[in-house]
Every structure is written in C-alpha cells, then in structure tokens.
C-alpha cells in the first residue's frame, strides 16, 4: 500500500513537470506552505519538520481512523493518539515535509464527528525556553493576523526577550486579541512597556502593561514523547465567560474587507489594486493604503469574494515582499457605497498587450491553487472508506468549495 502511494505521488509530480515544459514558470508546482499561527516557539523553523500535532479530537475518533484521515495528504511514518477526558490529541509523522505541510493546509479546521480538529506543526519541548521565573508583560489590542512569531519579532529588539505567546480561543480558533511576552531582565520588560505601549503592530495600536502573576502560564501540556501540544487554541476561554463567536469575520457575511500587511514602502494604492485585480476573485469596491505603516485594505462586493482573495492573495510577492492577508477588523457598514472601481492600468511591458499581461498574471495567481488541486485530486478518493457523515460539508469538496484557512461555506 505504501509503495502504491509513493508511486502515485511520483506520477503526479511527473505530470506537473511535463506541463511546466510547455508553460515555463506557470505550471511548475509551487511549495505548499501553511500560514504559521498558534502556539509555536519564537523563530520556529519548519524547514525540516515532518510531524504535525492534531488537537481537539472527538472521543469517538480512533487511532486507525486518524491514520486513514491523515494518509490523504501523503504516506505516514507513524500515528499516535493520546486520550483525554474531554478532547484527545495526537501526532502524525510523515515521510516528507511536503505531506506534513499539505495536511496542515487541508485538514486544519475539518470536522470529525462534528468537532473541528486543530492541526499544526509539532516541535520538541526543548525549543521553547522555561520562562516560569521570567518577567511577563501583557500585550493587548492585537490584530487578528498577529502570531507568536510576529509578537516575538516586535519585542526581540530587547536582548533578554525570551518568549511571546498569543492567546487563542478554544472554540472559534481565533486570536483573543491579547498575549504575553517574557523577559529575563526586569529592566528590559519595563523598557518595552514604556517604549511600545501605543505603538502600531499590524493594523492596531497595542497596549502594554505588567501581567498578573501566573498569567499566560500553563497553556501547554507535556506528552510522553517530549513533544509540546502545539494547540492553535492555547489560552482557552471559559464557557461561562466567552461564548462561541458566531459573528467572527469568517462566518459573518457583513465582513467584505481584506487587510493586507507587510507592504513595501514604495507600494501605492494603484499597485495594490492591480495586485488583487489580477486574482480575478470578485469586484473590488475600495482600495486604501497607509504607506508609512506598511498596510492597506481592499473592500470586495461580497464576503465570499473577500475570502477567496485572502486565500489566493496571501504570501504573493509585491515589490519583493510577501504580503499578509487577513480579515479587516470591522464589518462593512450597511449602506456603504458599492460602486465597483474601474480596472487599474496594467504596468507597461514592451511587446505584450494589456490582455496578455492580465491573462499571464491571473494564471500565476491561480497556479497556487491549481497545483494544490492537482496534488489532491488523486488523493482525496482514498478517503472513501471513511464515513462521509463525519465531515461537515463533505471532505471531497474541501479543496474546491471550502477555503481551508479562512472561510467555510
């Protein structure tokens, strides 16, 4: 069975390579990369990682079932399920990193027996420093796209910064808008509060203050294999204090604006408009940019269009930098002007017509999803033995009908 799976993967790669000979630069298979988020160590490098953590597993899920579900992303080297009273967790080991990345992209948030699983990279506990005796500060008003790595990068200008963690809601899987940063030096902790309170991080001004004693601790568990539980939902909320957020941007049709971060200083509103126009995912109604802060906003005519723009536009290179896409912080107010913007002027290139350039750029944008679909098409049918009723919405339509990271129809 394992040899057959490896042979299928080789045939898929060969087919893509043959296509790329006729369409150089367009059909070459891209690297499928999950968007890093959740409780990962600062500076985490997944380049050699072949194992994924699976959290929030329903009690009825068995180890053979877990193995069958995750084998859809590639041949497995091992699979282990750890039972817990309320929700179990486990680890899945692949033979190659690409399969592990594909599992994170396609299976995170999928439902098993009506319960969404959380999938992320697994890592050794030694990669995160013990901060129990360090000085902790509270950081509030974090924008949704801020992750552990982003937060650590902001505070690592202080030499003794040792850790940074964003708190995530256990039910919705979204950031709770605050986190904690640890320092070995009390002086650096105080300096960071003085210097960074009110400064911009992403699309919001953050609040910094001393954390209450014990805050941010105990968000991880140790398992027998010395791998940390890498929950995307660390810092779980109490059921009595925080209910499931049904108005979250990914579920609320009122949200039609895409936040675009990590913009180069020279990017203009025309550049940003052109960058998203070639995606061809929908009607753009407004483009705003704050060049001095390195971010902007694109408003679409519908929620579904914005969701597709987030998935297809995230990590695309604009002026040498990969842009970061997420939902805007506020819903579109009722009665907002819905007049479509006219198409932006296409950058001039001698020897090519405007239609040629638009078609070429759109093909490049679609290539990211096209290659992923080619890889998945022959793999998804192997899940036929798994009862389809366990998946809300059906697994077989996962790639084409659902946006695995941001949007569920």
- Please report the pLDDT score of residue 286 as a whole number: 94
- Containing domain of residue 137, as a range? 128-210
Nearest to 356, CA basis, from 278, 283, 282, 275: 278
Q: Is residue 220 assigned to a domain?
A: no
Same domain, 97 and 141: no
DSSP-derived secondary structure for 342-371: PPPPPPP-TT--HHHHHHHHHHHHHHHHHH
Answer yes or no: is pLDDT of 369 > 70: no
Same domain, 115 and 132: no
Which is higher by pLDDT, 28 or 258?
258
Instruction: Report the SS3 class of residue 295.
Output: strand
Same domain, 22 and 99: yes
The backbone torsions φ and ψ at residue 300, rounded to the nearest 5 degrees and listed phi first, read -100, 170
pTM summary value? 0.35
Q: Is residue 144 assigned to a domain?
A: yes
Same domain, 26 and 75: yes
> What does the pLDDT look like over 87-106, one tens digit per residue?
788 899 999 888 888 898 88
Q: Is residue 40 assigned to a domain?
A: no
Same domain, 110 and 200: no
Q: Is residue 225 assigned to a domain?
A: no
- Please report the pLDDT score of residue 2 as a whole number: 54
Same domain, 198 and 155: yes
Q: Is residue 111 assigned to a domain?
A: yes
Q: Is residue 175 assigned to a domain?
A: yes
> What does the pLDDT look like over 273-303, one tens digit per residue?
999 998 888 999 999 999 888 999 999 999 8
Same domain, 6 and 110: yes
Which is higher by pLDDT, 89 or 232?
89
Same domain, 26 and 114: yes
Question: Domains in the chain: how many in total?
Answer: 3
Same domain, 151 and 201: yes
Each residue of 176-194: b (16+ CB within 10 Å) or e?
Answer: bbbbbbbbbeeebbeebbe
- Please report the pLDDT score of residue 137 as a whole number: 94
Token reading at 59: 């009690």
Q: How many CA atoms lie within 13 A of 384 on its CB side?
A: 5
Answer yes or no: is pLDDT of 265 > 50: yes
- Please report the pLDDT score of residue 367 as a whole number: 58
Tell me, what CATH number does 15's domain have? 3.30.70.330
Q: Is residue 218 assigned to a domain?
A: no
- Please report the pLDDT score of residue 9 as a whole number: 58
Same domain, 6 and 84: yes
Same domain, 117 and 134: no
Token reading at 245: 């957020």
């Amino acid at each position: 069975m394992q040899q057959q799976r490896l042979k299928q993967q080789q045939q898929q790669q060969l087919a893509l390579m043959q296509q790329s000979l006729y369409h150089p630069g367009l059909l070459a298979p891209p690297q499928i990369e999950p968007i890093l988020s959740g409780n990962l160590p600062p500076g985490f490098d997944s380049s050699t990682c072949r194992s994924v953590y699976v959290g929030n597993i329903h009690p009825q899920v068995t180890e053979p079932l877990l193995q069958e579900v995750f084998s859809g992303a590639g041949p497995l080297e091992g699979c282990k399920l750890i039972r817990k009273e309320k929700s179990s967790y486990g680890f899945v080991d692949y033979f190659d990193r690409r399969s592990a990345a594909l599992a994170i992209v396609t299976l995170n948030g999928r439902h098993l027996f009506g319960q969404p699983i959380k999938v992320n990279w697994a890592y050794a506990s030694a990669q995160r420093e013990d901060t129990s005796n360090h000085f902790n500060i509270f950081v509030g008003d974090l924008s949704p796209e801020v992750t552990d790595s982003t937060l650590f990068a902001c505070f690592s200008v202080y030499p003794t910064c040792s850790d940074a963690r964003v708190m995530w809601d256990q039910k919705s899987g979204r950031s709770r808008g605050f986190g904690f940063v640890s320092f070995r030096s009390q002086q650096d902790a105080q300096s960071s509060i003085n210097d960074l309170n009110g400064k911009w991080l992403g699309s919001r001004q953050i609040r910094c203050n001393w954390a209450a004693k014990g805050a941010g601790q105990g968000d991880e568990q140790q398992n027998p294999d010395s791998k940390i539980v890498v929950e995307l939902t660390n810092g779980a909320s109490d059921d009595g204090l925080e209910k499931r957020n049904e108005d979250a941007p990914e579920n609320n049709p009122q949200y039609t604006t895409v936040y675009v971060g990590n913009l180069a200083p020279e990017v203009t509103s025309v550049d940003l408009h052109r960058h998203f126009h070639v995606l061809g995912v929908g009607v753009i109604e407004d483009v705003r940019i704050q060049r001095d802060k390195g971010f902007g906003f694109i408003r679409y005519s519908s929620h579904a269009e914005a969701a597709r723009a987030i998935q297809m536009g995230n990590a695309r290179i604009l002026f040498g930098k990969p842009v970061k896409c997420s939902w805007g912080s506020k819903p579109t107010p009722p009665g907002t002007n819905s007049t479509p913007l006219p198409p932006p002027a296409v950058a001039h290139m001698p020897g090519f017509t405007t239609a040629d350039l638009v078609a070429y750029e759109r093909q490049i944008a679609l290539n990211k999803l096209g290659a992923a679909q080619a890889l998945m098409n022959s793999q998804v049918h192997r899940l036929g033995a798994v009862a389809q009723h366990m998946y809300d919405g059906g697994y077989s339509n996962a790639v084409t009908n659902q946006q695995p990271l941001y949007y569920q129809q």
